Amino acid sequence: MAVAFIFPGQGSQFVGMGQDLYAEYPLARERYQQANEVLGFDLQEISFSGPEDRLKQTAVTQPAIFVHSIIVYELLRQQGISPAMVAGHSLGEYSALVASGAFSFRTGLQLVKLRGQLMQNAGTIQPGTMAAIIGLAPEAVDKLCRQASADGVVVPANYNSPEQIVISGSLTDVRRAVELAKKAGARRAIELEVSGAFHSPLMATATAEMSAALQNCEILTPVCPIVANVTAKPTRSVTELRAHLLAQLTQPVRWVESIRIMVEQGMNRFCEIGPGKVLTGLLRRIDSTVECTAIGSTADLAQIQVTSADDKQS
């Protein structure tokens, strides 16, 4: 059975995340200590105890999710469970690259630290927001974005499921698009609590410094294909990966296409690696025939260990 690992992005965080892993596994304690050294603040204290408002800050959220995801991935690898293909939603693409062997943990964390800071800063320089549109086809959302952005910016940012698309842009234009979506018959159209217009042209101020960091860091050829957010195509090209990670800041996450191409490539079992179960829920809406297991806690890891043992015996 071909197993694909998928890694969550911003929005999956919660206060208390990783605390059970820290208590149970020396590897988790080691990774959090290394993270504190790279980040310059106490990541586990914020992850375990909050406050929630601090954890929601982009510059904190992104490293917190990344570290949690990599700990879970490495514990799975210790059990002999490795992916045949990987993908990550937005920030999760960095976790996926570590799982593919393209990044070391430290390199990935340094890039995620910078990415979170730059995205948070971009949201201050050019204030923006995002909104979830549920119940409209992609073509309809594309059209209302064009209508709403006559004087500004609002674009599709995340194609999360066939009927859930997140839009991103300036405050006025996103709010105008939300009203247009409601008039067009959307089941829900709601502004999200975010610190900027991610995956939109308003993130352009983050690209120069991120480009330099990506060009100067070591990226190895992945041991398995990674399906890129911006192309929804599998690749193992280091040149393509650098370009995709940069483009990802201002271009949409093509998650529906990404999952579908993975299924077409023979992936019939998925594991969501990291906090929460957001991607598991989206996967069910994209392809209900495919199995997905969310793994983010010591209990989840214990269950996977039992399942793996049963598979070997049979």
Q: Tens digits of per-residue pLDDT, 113-125?
A: 999 999 999 999 9
Q: Are residues 117 and 70 in the same domain?
A: yes
Residues 82, 136 within the same domain:
no
Average pLDDT rounded to a whole number, residues 53-59: 95
Let me know whether 41 and 171 are in one domain: no
| Strand runs labelled E in 258-302 | 269-273, 291-295
Share of the chain above pLDDT 90, in %: 93
175: Cα separation from own chain's centroid: 24
Domain boundary among 174, 195, 216: 195
90 is catalytic: yes
Residue bearing tokens 């859930």: 164
Do 89 and 22 belong together in one domain? Answer: yes
Of residues 95, 199, 244, 258, which has the active-site annotation? 199
What are the structure tokens assigned to 302, written together? 């214990």
Domain that holds residue 234: 3-123+202-313
**Do residues 174 and 271 both lie within one domain?**
no
The SS3 of residue 314 is coil
Residue 301 pLDDT exceeds 50: yes
How does the average pLDDT of the chain come out, rounded? Answer: 94
Instruction: Examine the fold and report which residue of 148, 175, 195 is the final residue of a domain before the chain moves on.
Output: 195
Number of domains comprising the chain: 2
Helix (H, G, I), strand (E, B) or coil at 104: coil
Name residue 294's amino acid: A
Name the β-bridge partners of 133: 165, 189
- Separation between Cα atoms, residue 171 and residue 312, nearest integer Å: 54
Q: In which band, very low, low, confident or very high, does the pLDDT at 310 lie, cut at 50, 70 and 90?
A: very low
Q: Are residues 187 and 211 in the same domain?
A: no
Q: Which of 47, 69, 90, 149 is catalytic?
A: 90
The three-point CA angle 140-245-21 to 5° equals: 100
CA gap 167, 158 in Å, rounded: 7
CATH number, domain containing residue 171: 3.30.70.250
**Peptide bond just before 51 cis, omega within 30 deg:** yes
Of 195, 220, 237, the position where a domain reaches its end is 195
Q: What is residue 313's predicted lDDT score, i.e. its pLDDT?
A: 40
| Domain shared by 18 and 119, yes or no | yes
> Known catalytic residue: 68?
no
Sheet holding 154-161, edge to edge: 154-161, 164-170, 128-134, 188-191
Task: Report the alpha-carbon distance of residue 88 to residue 119 in Å, rounded.
Answer: 18
Q: Could you report the per-residue pLDDT of 85-120, keeping only the tens digit for each?
A: 999 999 999 999 999 999 999 999 999 999 999 999
Strand pairing category for 3-7 and 154-161: unpaired
* Integer angstrom CA distances of residue 194 from 121, 203, 285: 13, 13, 24
Q: Do 161 and 189 belong together in one domain?
A: yes
d(CA 260, CA 264): 6
Q: Let me know whether 216 and 135 are in one domain.
A: no
Q: Are residues 281 and 135 in the same domain?
A: no
pLDDT exceeding 70 applies to what percent of the chain? 96
- Regarding whether 235 and 90 lie in a shared domain, the answer is yes
Order of strands, edge to edge, in the sheet holding 234-235? 234-235, 226-227, 85-88, 3-7, 269-273, 291-295
Give me the DSSP letters along 21-73: HHHH-HHHHHHHHHHHHHHSS-HHHHHHH--HHHHTSHHHHHHHHHHHHHHHH
Pair (186, 213) in one structural domain? no
Q: Tell me the CATH number at 254.
A: 3.40.366.10
